[in-house]
Every structure is written in structure tokens, then in C-alpha cells.
């Protein structure tokens, strides 16, 4: 599933970034080499990051 439409970042990308230490949506964008844009994905991205970090 695409989480960030502006940058074509998928849920699997967010999960991978979270497992590699990213703790915020901005850090995920930086890890992907893409700038944050509209911010509509931030809440869902945080949910995915929190789920991955709590599972670790």
C-alpha cells in the first residue's frame, strides 16, 4: 500500500525504515532520499513506525 502519495513511499518502505532506526515521518523521508511535502501521510506513518518499534 502507498503511504505517501507525494513521494511514492510504500508501507513496506516505512516498516523497513522503522526497523533501521527511523522514529519520525521526517526521518523516513530522509532515509528514502525524498523531501517531505504535504504532510497528509504523517499520522499514518507514525502509526506504522510505532507498530514496528513496539514489535521489536
Q: What is the pLDDT of residues 25-53, one digit of tens each?
A: 999 999 999 999 999 999 999 999 999 99
State whether the Cα torsion 33-39-44-49 is positive or negative.
positive
14-53 burial code (b ≥16 CB/10 A, e <16): bbebbeeebeebebbbebbeeebeeeebbeebbebbeebe
pTM: predicted TM-score of the whole model, two decimal places: 0.92
Amino acid at each position: 500500500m502507498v503511504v505517501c502519495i507525494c513521494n511514492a513511499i510504500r508501507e513496506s518502505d516505512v516498516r523497513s525504515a522503522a526497523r533501521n532506526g527511523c522514529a519520525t515521518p521526517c526521518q523516513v523521508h530522509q532515509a528514502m532520499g525524498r523531501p517531505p511535502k504535504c504532510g497528509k501521510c504523517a499520522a499514518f506513518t507514525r502509526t506504522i513506525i510505532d507498530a514496528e518499534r513496539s514489535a521489536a
